[in-house]
Structure formats: structure tokens, C-alpha cells
Structure 1
Amino acid sequence: MSPEASVARRPAKALIAGVGNIFLGDDGFGVEAVRRLGERQLPDGVEVVDVGVRGVHLAYQMLDGYHTVLLVDASARGGEPGTVYLLDATAPAARPPDTALDGHHMTPDTVLALLDTLSAGTGGRRPERVLVVGCEPADVAEGIGLSEPVDAAVDEAVQLILRLVGAEEPTPSAAGPHTSERNTTPC
């Protein structure tokens, strides 16, 4: 199944989690995206949360019986600032094996590495699918507010997420250019 296949094909719980630090410029992308998603009508069973920098909390929440988790975060992958990425992070093999766990700096990779440990220790159920909707940042220096290209990309990411959860039919802008790839490098 491709990362773009709708997560709404069967009735299931989905979590959309905005990750990032609003005090580091474009790192606040995920938080802003879920803020805008909160203004939209979403299907039953879809929960939207602003996780911010609370990665350990997110890891525990991901064990609460969700079928699909969408992590929304700034994702530096070497593209043009504002490029939206859709990454499939479901398989542990798709993540680097040496991801360091640090409670003060929880990237999606560290959350997913912690999730493996917590799932084994608590018996909690891992989500069947984990997708990352990322955006190439322009500036993650200290400061509040998104750069122009990243702010413009928030609406594109929101449309992509709405399509993934089956909340809206694709429109030309929602189906617009974004990069979809298998996550074989850090998110």
C-alpha cells in the first residue's frame, strides 16, 4: 500500500500529531499545521493533537490503539524550503538503528525508537501505519513565526492530511506537488 493510500478505508482510529518547537522558527511547522486542521471538519475517529516538544508523551499516546498515526513536523531533507514530504515510517527497518534516545530532543525518529521499547515493555499496541508529513524548513533559528515558504506549505500539508484521512475529495491544489517517498533516512 502506498503512503498516499487513504487511511480512512476502514473505520479506525487515527492520530494526527503536530510536532515541533514554535520558538525555533520553521520548527513550528507541525504545530501550526495541526492548529489549522483543528478548524476543519474531520471524520469520526480522527484525533488531532499539538504535541509540541513532548515526545515521550507522544510515544505513550501512540500506544493507545490507533490504526494510523500521522506525525506532522519540519523535516530537513535537502530540498527547497517549503517542500512537503510524505514519508512512510511504519517499518522499524525504515529507521536508523542507532537512534539515540534523549528526553530533551525528541525527533520523530527518537519517538519511534522509544515506541518500540515502550510497546515491548507495556504490551501496548503499536499503530499499524505511521506516516510523517514533513516540510523542508528554511530557518530554525531562535524566533517565533514561520518563514514565507514554510507558512505557504502549511495549507498544502493540511490538504494532503485531509485527503489521507478521507475528510475531503482531492482538489487540484490538494493533489498538487508534494514528494512521496519511503522513509529510509531520518525523518
Structure 2
Amino acid sequence: MRVLVAGIGNVFLGDDGFGVEVARRLRVRGGLAQGVELVDVGIRGMHLAYQLLDGYDGLLLIDTMHGDGPPGTVYRVEHDPDAPARGSGLNGHGMDPGSVLALLDELATVNGVHRPVGRVLVVGCEPASLDECMGLSEQVAAAVEPALRAVDELLTLLLDRPTEQTDDGPERSAARRVT
């Protein structure tokens, strides 16, 4: 069983550093299960896509994301691997998780690899500000601890049932909330 946990974000854009901070705290805390690899991807989304070609049973991405909640809201989302991929844009220093996964699909096809990643889950946080500055806003900084708990819970889910999909009803989209 191989699971990759990837913190994504740009620490020079305020709350966009959320995924990087959560990954840092996970590394300091330690104690990840055997088979779980932790990386701070930062803004190197293209490198993440290439790393995923090595094959993982599960992927847990940590990043900011826009949902319907106030700043600091922590989301748990599952990526639907059968949803149509949107274009990758091939921006090596600014790829969001959706673009990374689209690029992964393209790279896998070119290399003759069928679905190099099993289940893909995302822990996201609603940002307050993505302006040029260092440091998280008060709301997003307060969301780091709940995000760490969400990571722990979703890792347990990935390790117990790596390929099981959640069923949130008949609607299928590129992302579904994980319960």
C-alpha cells in the first residue's frame, strides 16, 4: 500500500501557503503510517504529476480551494477519476490540483500507464486572502489544526479502502465531498 500526501501552495501568496503549512506540521509531528509518503510540493505541480507516474494506491492533496463557506472552512473532497479532465495548461509553477491531475492523465496516456493513482482525496481550506504576502490569515491559520485531523481521518480511509468510491447520489462531478 502506497499513499502520497502532498501539500500544495505558494507561501508568497498569503493563504495559498495553507497546504505547505499543513505538510510542514505533519512532518514535525511525525507518526505517519507505513507506506505513507509526505511531500511539500509547493508550486511544483508538474513535478508532482511526474512523481505520481510511479503509482500510488491513494493520493491526499492539501491546498486552498474555493467552496461555499467563509474563510477558514475546511473541505474534504474526493476527485472523480472518470470526470472529463480539463486542460493542464502546463504552467510548471502555478498548477492547481485539478491541473496536476489533468496533466497526470496526459502523461499516463503517453507512457502507456493505466490510472497510476487509485483514490484521490483533497483537504481544502477556503482562503481569506491570496494577496502577495507571507503568512496565513487568522482564519486560515486557525484551520490548520482541523485540517490535520481531517488528514488523519482521510488517511485512515485511504489505507482501509484505497479504491472505494463514495456515493453522494446520482450527480457525478469532478469533485465530491467526502463524508
Kindly, what percent of the aligned residue pairs are identical?
52
Q: Does 1:49 align with 2:39?
A: yes
CA displacement 1:121-167 (0-9 Å, x = unmatched):
12345211111110000011000000111011111111111122239
What residue number does 1:60 align with?
50
Aligned residues: 161
Q: Does 1:87 align with 2:69?
A: no
CA distance in 2, matches of 1:69, 1:81: 25
TM-score by structure 2 length? 0.82
Question: Which consecutive residues of structure 2, in runs of 5 or more, have no partner in the other structure?
Answer: 158-167
TM-score by structure 1 length? 0.79
Q: Does 1:140 align with 2:102?
A: no
What residue number does 2:12 align with?
23
Residues 86-165 of structure 1 mapped to structure 2, 5 A cutoff: 86-93=76-83, 97-98=86-87, 100-124=89-113, 125-165=115-155
Deviation at 1:97, TM superposition (A): 3.4
Whether the 8 Å contact between 1:43 and 1:166 is mirrored in structure 2 is: no
Q: Which runs of 4+ in 1 moved over 6 A?
A: none
RMSD of equivalent CA atoms? 2.2
Distance 1:183 1:34, change over 3 A: farther
Distance 1:183 1:108, change over 3 A: farther
Identify the structure with the greater helix proportion.
Answer: 2
Whether the 8 Å contact between 2:87 and 2:102 is mirrored in structure 1 is: no
Question: Which consecutive residues of structure 1, in runs of 5 or more, have no partner in the other structure?
Answer: 1-11, 168-180
